[in-house]
Amino acid sequence: MPQPTSIDLSSEDFIRDPYPAYRQLQAAGAPQWLPHVDRTGTEGIWLFSHYRDVARILRDTQDISKDLSKLVPAGQVTAFDRMLLNLDPPEHTRLRAMIAPLFGVRRIANMEAEIADNVATLIARIEPGKTVDFMAEFAVALPLGVVARIIGVPSRDMPRLRVWTDHLISGFDSARSSDEARSRLVTSLGELTQYLLELIAADNAPEGSLIAHLSELRADLDEPDTEETLGLCILMVLAGHETTVNLLGSGLLCLLRFPDQAQRLRDDPAMMNTAVDEMLRFESPLQRGTYRITQGRYKVGGVVLEPGQQVSAVIGAANRDPDEFPDPDVFDVGRRPNRHLAFGKGVHKCLGERLARAEARIAFGQLLARFGEIEMVDEAPCWQDKTLFRGLRSLAVRFRE
């Protein structure tokens, strides 16, 4: 068995600021071995932190598999294990094509007016001069409402979906999850599955929603089957809001910590696109790629891995790699080029990218236009106790006219 890494990816210091540990990972030269046991029984994960290796691993469908069901003991494979993100082509290609139209250019452009209305409503509730928790009052509410509409979930049920999502994300966190977190994962996955199955069976989701769209496809083409439909819905719940919540929270924190950059953006709102990309690079909402396994012997990053080994693409580290980004620890709203990997790469590249960008662009556009000053109340904001995702638990701020 390889030597476990001595770099601590689970400490309180790491939660506050993971970048020194990422620099250590990169300085180590070779990939590092993170021991952990998950429900598949796999014993550890190879961590890759250099931009070139991370980009290659994310893109590679030849030598790297995402088929999680290969590892889960027979009889225990669930719809989760067979969802889009855990499949290889050609099954992946077939399922992705079914839902891609929901995230197309025109579809998202049509949603922008509604997103702008939602943002305006949330902003109208903010009292200038009063301390508010930006996470609770804004960053969570916006993506949660948007994804509820997309899936076809009644908005009153979204708080429950949020709790289940939180348990799932914590349970999957290979660097930090405990036995308790893993057991909560199993319970929450069961409850989420039951909830979604009932929603799918009710067959009364609003027109245009994911559930209604998949039901129409099933009636016309006899696919996707119930398990595939369930898998797509589970994925959308998991992927569709927490990452955007983190982008909004960390994005505002960047603007507060680098007031000169916030001023540049105020002076030239046309920089919004590059600013959002820089937020995604600087504090990537998903810090490590999801489940991946070597198919055969695999040469990468100066080592040869055996077949069946788990590999993790550390996106948060790659996005601060000095070999790709000059002055990687400088937050620059005009950074170009900015080939960050926050949305992944290759066939599994984020399907919701366009939507997430639209939400951030509209949110920051309206916030900066409405408030002349945004003041950070708590100089040491509290990060969530997670290492797979990076996002704030709370962010106390005061908005002023």
Q: Which spans of this chain sit near ligand HEM (rule: CB under 6 A)?
A: 58, 84-85, 96, 147, 150, 235-236, 239-240, 243-244, 247, 285-286, 289-290, 342-344, 348, 350-352, 355-356
Min CB(1)–ligand HEM separation in Å:
25
Residue closer to ligand HEM (CB basis): 11 or 353: 353
Residue closer to ligand HEM (CB basis): 349 or 400: 349
Work out the angle between the directed axes of helices 242-257 and 272-282 (0-180°, nearest 10): 100
Which structure tokens are listed for 40? Answer: 């598949």
Min CB(128)–ligand HEM separation in Å:
28
Q: Which residues, in sequence order, are CB contacts of 393 under 8 Å at separation 6+?
A: 135, 381, 382, 383, 384, 385
Min CB(88)–ligand HEM separation in Å:
10
d(CA 69, CA 196): 21
Min CB(290)–ligand HEM separation in Å:
4
Min CB(252)–ligand HEM separation in Å:
13
Amino acid at 327: D
Chain-centroid distance, C-alpha 331: 20
Q: Do the beta carbons of residue 400 and residue 374 sit within 8 Å?
A: yes
Please count the CA atoms within 13 angstroms of the CA of 55 that sit on its side-chain side: 11
Residue closer to ligand HEM (CB basis): 99 or 374: 99
Min CB(73)–ligand HEM separation in Å:
23
Q: Do the beta carbons of residue 104 and residue 352 sit within 8 Å?
A: no
Residue closer to ligand HEM (CB basis): 135 or 235: 235
The CA-atom distances, in angstroms, between 317 and each of 2, 53, 98, 137 are 22, 11, 33, 30
Residue closer to ligand HEM (CB basis): 88 or 377: 88
